[in-house]
Structures are given as structure tokens and as C-alpha cells.
Amino acid sequence: MTVVFECLYANERHLGLGLPAHEAPLRLYPLAGDTLAATLSAVGGDPETAVARLTRDHAAVDVHPADRHRVRMLPPLLPAHPGDALVSGFMMTHNVKVGSDVPDQPNWFVKGLGDSLKVPGQPLSVPADAVAVCEEAEVVLIYVGDETGVPRYAGYTFGNDLTDIGRFKQHAGHLSYAKLCDAGVAPWLHLDEPPSSVTGEVVIERDGASVWKGSFTTGIDALHYDLPTMMSRLFTHRALHHPGRVHYVYIGADRSSFHAGFRTADGDRVTIDFASHGVTLSHPLEWVDDRPSRGAGPEGGSALGG
């Protein structure tokens, strides 16, 4: 299994291979304006061929451990313009959450565009009026639109689909609002089929002390639905077709801290250890009031008039 990542170093985009060990040297390949996503489209969507071309065409740069702080990881395949990426997902997909009377396709939601993705260390923001926020440890599938716009599978990574589950519990019709929180994502793109089984642990810290801990199981085997059918039905919708668009699809989660009766708070740190795959995400939570001020339109009226 090949793992790749993209990052910014010396103000330029670079490509790296493998899961870097902590405080180890990094071997990077300057992309000189290229991106892995664009190269994927140019080689017919084959990730291995794209990586081979980029590492062949660009001389390697070795980053000393003392300079690792100058490297900023990026979400996998993130386009230069956030609007060229769509972050979405499915809910109630896991066997532990689904009863016998369920639809043949789970509900789908939109979380945002590419700027809603946050790599480890960056804060995950939620609306200031959030009701009850929980982490959701998930597999994230990544697709890139081909030259005709049809999304083609590129690989997978792991993420935290942060959710205002309290809002959803108050009103099931408000799922769309509940999902408008930032999404944690690992920088590492696994060039392989989605994993059958993923296991790990969530730890939530408050003021430097652990206040909740729990294990989780996810992956294809944990799903109530057939994953290829889920994805093919989603991408039959032409509204999602656009050449070069990158799709990040969160495929659902096991039980969370909310189901155990815990409530997160502003400033908590959520660490998700996907132990079976050697990947860890850690993010502080941040309640943010981004509501537009009243009277922002002309002559004190709303921006839409009336």
C-alpha cells in the first residue's frame, strides 16, 4: 500500500511518500506548480502512475528534522482554490446505528468546501450556538472529477466529522445545519481500496487532563450498506460532476462520546488514534460566532432588501 502527502515548504507545494516518523527527516519533491490531483486527471486517474511521474520529473529535497516546523501539511489532493473541493458525507451508515426499517440509501449531507478541512493541530470551529458537539472518527473517500467531470476514486484517508448532534436530536430535519462544523482530516492519502476494518481510540482533554476516552470500530465491514452502491448512486447526480473537482466523502461513524453521555466544550482537545493504520488526528475545538451583523445592507436594511 502506497501512502502519499502534499505539503507547503519554502512557500512551494511539495509531494512526499509514506507516513513520516515523528522528528525524522523528510524527503520531498517540489511540484513546481503541479498538483497530485491535476496529474491524476492527466494520467487517466491512476494514482500510482501520477506519483511515479511527479517523483521522476522533480528532484528530491531533504528536510532536516530541525526544519520540520517549516513544513505545513495539506489535506490530501486539496485544490489551489477551496471552491473546487466539496466536503460531504453519509449519516447512519453503521450497523450499530441502523435498525431493520431503513432506506436503501443513507442520508447524504454537505459539510462545506475545501476550506472546511483542517489538518491535525488546527482548531475545528463550530457555531457559537451549537447545542451538543461530538467527534466522529471516520474513513474519508477521495474522488477527483475526470475530464468529463465524473468523480473517480483516488484513495482514502481518515477524518473527524465534527457534528452538532444536539441540533439534530432536537430536530431531525436540521441535519444539514448540524453538519456545518469544520472537518478534521489526515494529510495522508492511502492509494488503496477503502479499508475493511479500522479500530482505534478517542481521547478528549480539558485543561490538559483527560476527561473522556472510548474505542471505535469503522471501515467497510462495519457498514450496514454496500459501499460501492452508496457511492455509485451518489455520483449518478450530474450536479456533482465537474472536471477536476475534488470530493471528500465521510462514510459514517461508530458511536461517539455523545452516545456515552459526555458533552464537549469550547477549548477541549479531541485526539483520534486510528491505531490499526498508524494515523492520529488531534484538534482543539473552538466555538465561533460568525453570524453576519444586522443592518449590513444599504441604508441599514438587509443585504437582500425588503
pLDDT in tens, 86-99: 999 999 999 998 87
151 in the same domain as 38: no
Burial (0-12, 13-18, 19+ Cβ within 10 Å), 213: middle
Instruction: Give me the pLDDT at residue 32, please.
Output: 81
This prediction's pTM:
0.92
Task: Quick: pLDDT tens for 111-138.
Answer: 999 999 999 999 999 999 999 999 999 9
Q: Is residue 303 part of a domain?
A: no
Q: CA 231, 234, 238 angle in degrees (round to 5)? A: 130
98 in the same domain as 66: no
Q: Is residue 301 part of a domain?
A: no
86 in the same domain as 164: yes
Q: Hey, what amino acid is at 298?
A: P
List the domain range (segments joined by +) for residue 30.
Answer: 2-73
Count other Cβ atoms within 10 Å, centred on residue 56. Answer: 9
99 in the same domain as 35: no
Q: Is residue 220 part of a domain?
A: yes
Instruction: Give me the pLDDT at residue 301, please.
Output: 45
The residue behind cell 436503501 is 104
Q: Is residue 284 part of a domain?
A: yes
216 in the same domain as 187: yes
Q: Is residue 299 part of a domain?
A: no
Cell, residue 50: 501520477
Cell, residue 231: 457511492
Count other Cβ atoms within 10 Å, centred on residue 264. Answer: 24
Q: Which of 35, 51, 73 is the last residue of a domain?
A: 73
127 in the same domain as 27: no
86 in the same domain as 6: no
- Tell me, what CATH number does 186's domain have? 3.90.850.10
Q: Which residues pair with 293 in a beta bridge?
A: none
Q: Are 55 and 18 contacting, i.e. CB atoms less than 8 angstroms apart?
A: no
Q: Is residue 132 part of a domain?
A: yes
60 in the same domain as 88: no
Task: Quick: pLDDT tens for 142-191.
Answer: 999 999 999 999 999 999 999 999 999 999 889 999 999 999 999 999 99
- Name the average pLDDT for the chain: 91
263 in the same domain as 246: yes
Burial (0-12, 13-18, 19+ Cβ within 10 Å), 21: exposed
- Compare 205 and 291 and report the one with higher pLDDT: 205
Does 61 have pLDDT greater than 80? yes
Instruction: Give me the pLDDT at residue 39, please.
Output: 85
Indicate the pairing of strand 72-73 with strand 108-113: unpaired
Q: Which of 56, 73, 90 is the last residue of a domain?
A: 73
Q: For the chain, what percent of residues have pLDDT higher than 90?
A: 77
Strand residues in the chain grouped as ranges (E): 2-9, 12-17, 26-30, 61-63, 72-73, 85-90, 108-113, 117-118, 124-127, 133-134, 137-145, 151-161, 163-164, 183-185, 189-191, 198-206, 209-218, 246-250, 269-274, 279-288
165 in the same domain as 127: yes
131 in the same domain as 249: yes
Count other Cβ atoms within 10 Å, centred on residue 296. Answer: 10
Instruction: Give me the pLDDT at residue 219, please.
Output: 97
Using CA atoms of 138, 143, 111, 120 in order, give the dihedral in degrees to the nearest 10.
Answer: 50
Which residue, among 165, 106, 99, has the nearest Cα to 136 in the 3D structure?
165
Instruction: Give me the pLDDT at residue 187, please.
Output: 98
Instruction: Give me the pLDDT at residue 258, please.
Output: 95
Count: domains in the chain: 2
Q: Is residue 297 part of a domain?
A: no
Distance CA 217, CA 97 (A): 12
Instruction: Give me the pLDDT at residue 296, please.
Output: 54
Q: Is residue 147 part of a domain?
A: yes
172 in the same domain as 108: yes
Q: Which of 22, 53, 73 is the last residue of a domain?
A: 73
Instruction: Give me the pLDDT at residue 104, please.
Output: 84
